[in-house]
Amino acid sequence: MTTTRPLGEPLNRRDGTEKTTGRARYALDVPHDGLLHGAIVHADVAHARITSIDTTRAEQQPGVVLVMTHLNAPTLKPTARPTLVSLPSWAPGTMVNYLNTDEVFFDGQPVALVVAETLDQAMEAARFVTVTYDELPSRVDMMAEEKHSELVKPAPVGIYTGGKKGDAEAALAAADVTVDATWTTPEHSHNAMEPHGTTAQWDGDALTVWDGAQNLDWTKKHLQKKFDTSRVRVVSPFVGGAFGGKGNVWAQTILAAMAARELGRPVTVALTREGVYRVVGGRTATKQRVALGAGADGRLTAIIHQVWQRKGTMGGGDDQTVSGTADLYAADSILLQQYGVKLDLVPNTSMRAPGEATGVVALESAMDELAIALELDPVELRLRNQPTKNPMRGTAYSHHTLPESMRLGAEKFGWSARTPEPQSMRDGNHYVGWGMAAAVHPAWQFATNLTLTLSADGTLLVRCAFHDMGMATATATAQMAAHLTGIPESSIRIEYGDSDLPIGPGAGGSGQTASIAAALIKAAADLDRQLENLMSNGGRTPAEILTRAGRTSLEVKVGGDTGLGAVRGNVGFMAKLIRDSRKWTKAASGAHFCEVRIDADTGETRVSRWVSVFDIGTVVNHKTATSQLRGGVVMGLGLALSEATLFDPRRGRIMNPSLTEYHVPVHADVPRLEIHVLDDPDPTMPLGILGAGEVGIVGVGAAVANAVHHATGVRVRDLPITLDKVLPN
């Protein structure tokens, strides 16, 4: 077949009109007869036993039909801890068996659910639930509990948490020039435009949930286990942002399903904005030591990156905070370590580029310090230390264009006009600073099933349970299908967002588009073969071929096996990934260039100019890809300048659980972001795609911090960079 529409065309997103006109129905917009509403009562202690819970007044409030606590909730199966086998489909956000225990494991844990005819009635009644506790010893302050940390063992594949090459400490001691410092980053909370919410409905033993899910298959499997039924359907037509926060199953989904089964009516549990902070995990805080040693020529001889971060006592994963350091620069001796400490806090979870977003802050800030010590330009230092193969694993780079991105970014920004001395570019009452940093994020793939159905009218239907959380996946899928089949994009329909469809990839790790592409390649090849078999009847176009063969449609499937066949398929897919990881290092990369202006009297910091250049492999849609990258930079500006979840170090309570006090960037905080993409396919990835969702945030914090130092001479190693930290001495 011939290509009718090239990849990369900046088509408008397919759901744009629906979303901008308000016609798009998100999970909680779907109407249901007899719908009830639930409101969560949250614990206000970090670790305790419930000694009494009085629901009498709440039950007497107008409209209340149920107050569910651990005293009357149905018994659910306990959540098993993940194993190497279960990890690929391990979905719970926490190990807490909601309302099946009298023990509280973190401040914010649900201790009751009030269900009423209206949301207002449920929320009002929830105020009257009275809980008393016997408080237990708790650990809630990560820095104070560092002594309890444990070394994270490196995983054989997947999340990268450490490794060793040579004697890095000895090499550091022998180096001509060194940098050895500590950086800290705070907790970050999820604030997607659409807060978490679920509607659940039972029909006999069949459960359907409408949920803003980020991984339909994980959610479905977890609910099947939790409620002991094979008949689960998850519907997620639109997702109003997720960024990792909707990749796991959180309390509202379980509680909605519990209440709906008890009452025999559909129940919605929608988290308030504060409820998201209390119940849904966020990005872990970090303490990071980065030490660099170099010769007088600027060549790195030692790299040390040690990280301390936390988990919850009842769940949470390890961010791959040293992953970027493992990929970016060459040195003969490297030590990468991560330590974890368990705290009585809401379990942490994935948040855009989990690990790289914070780890590269410390690494790229240290590289800036080293450039100053060596009296080298920061771009030149990075160029001198580019590896020819992966510094830790020794694998070949499938695609290594970071030097090109840095050179192009410097040219577009006008970097050559930068004077190197701090405070040398003052403009009136403003200190002006220029900074830069590199970015990297691994390219991932996930097992994907789909079907293609070609009809005699010339239309093509693609069915796959993937997600569109705002990044226009349906649009990109149609463009890829058009490219591979020769059928016009306008004649292609996409069905997605429903677990009854063939199992799709989760929307995480920047791997969804490449995963869908791999399945489309197989399906399109199979469709081609079947059409060729029918060509003896005549016809030039696919529609003519089917018509002359007396067929109304032709369907091909990729995957779709169940039982042992599905297990074999997944095992084969994982085996291929492991083989690839031993041969190639695959990653998206890029470079950021930043200008800041800082008021000399107040310390107010404004980012005034920005240029980024990225290599994301093949660009499927220039408009939507650059939009994703731009969004990553904006999120990185929040990480750099304003975002911090503040915990009471004595009680473990989040003190700023709202957008009034947790500050995300607004339009006034963001300059025009100039985004460039190389559009250079990676030969080892499906259609050459590396992924665009997460690399945009990586390195942003360091670029801003480096610009702040250039402007003021003040090196801020404790994010966010607030005005009290930047005023020159």
Q: Catalytic amino acids? A: 694
If one counts every other C-beta atom within 10 angstroms of the C-beta of residue 669, the result is 16
Give the 3-state secondary structure of 347-376: CCCCCCCCCHHHHHHHHHHHHHHHHHHHCC
Q: Which two tokens stand for residue 32?
A: 């249901």
303 burial via Cβ count (<10 Å: 0-12, 13-18, 19+) = buried
Q: Which long-range contacts (CB under 8 A, 24 or more apart) does 559-566 make?
A: 559/447, 559/448, 559/449, 559/450, 559/502, 559/503, 559/519, 560/449, 560/451, 560/502, 560/503
Residue 705 three-state SS = helix
Residue 497 three-state SS = coil
Nearest to residue 239, comparing CAs of 247, 250, 231, 228?
Answer: 247
**CB–CB of 634/673 below 8 Å?**
yes
Residue 469 three-state SS = coil
The one-character DSSP state at 82 is P
**Calpha distance 437→455 (Å, rounded):** 50
What is the edge-to-edge ordering of all strands in the sheet holding 64-68? Answer: 64-68, 110-116, 36-42, 267-270, 197-203, 206-211, 232-235
**Calpha distance 195→40 (Å, rounded):** 14
Sign of the CA dihedral running 405, 407, 410, 414: negative
Q: Which two tokens stand for residue 225?
A: 């286990």
Half-sphere exposure (Cβ direction) of 278: Cα atoms closer than 13 Å: 21
Q: Which two tokens stand for residue 319?
A: 């961010």
For residue 612, list its beta bridge partners. Answer: 592, 675
Sign of the CA dihedral running 468, 474, 479, 484: positive
**Calpha distance 239→148 (Å, rounded):** 39
Q: Which long-range contacts (CB under 8 A, 24 or more apart) does 145-154 make?
A: 145/310, 145/341, 145/343, 146/287, 146/308, 146/339, 146/341, 148/341, 148/342, 149/308, 149/339, 149/340, 149/341, 150/339, 150/340, 150/341, 151/337, 151/338, 151/339, 152/318, 152/337, 152/338, 152/339, 152/340
Q: Which residues contact 72 (CB under 8 A, 6 or more apart)?
A: none
